[in-house]
Amino acid sequence: MDKIFLNQLSFYGYHGVYPEETKLGQHFIVDLVLELDLRHAARHDDLQASIDYGDVHERVKTIVEGKPYKLVEAVAERISAELLQAYDQLQTCTVKVIKPNPPIAGHYDSVAVELTRSRHA
């Protein structure tokens, strides 16, 4: 299966378990791997047979910068559901939501969750 990668999409959202996260907000980064057959798009230089990256960005932005969720797992699930519903040609999507500055004890570069959802699962 062919893949489209959208890396390091950057947003500001209000997701988290702790009150300060939902009040102050924080930076989130999203990585996507979209799996679909790109043969027709490539052969015919046809955007309609592919997926518009700008449209994907706007859909993800609406989710990450929209309704707060407690868990990044819920954010990732919502993104995958939206993308699979929006694009009939999309077969599988992998969504990674990264929280660069988690408000938890210890030293972290980031924490993240990654999930893969398929049209056939």
Residues annotated as catalytic (active site), given as ranges: 99
| Short-list 49, 33, 43, 47, CA closest to 89 | 49
CA distance 103 to 121: 34
Contact 104/98 with Cβ under 8 angstroms? Answer: no
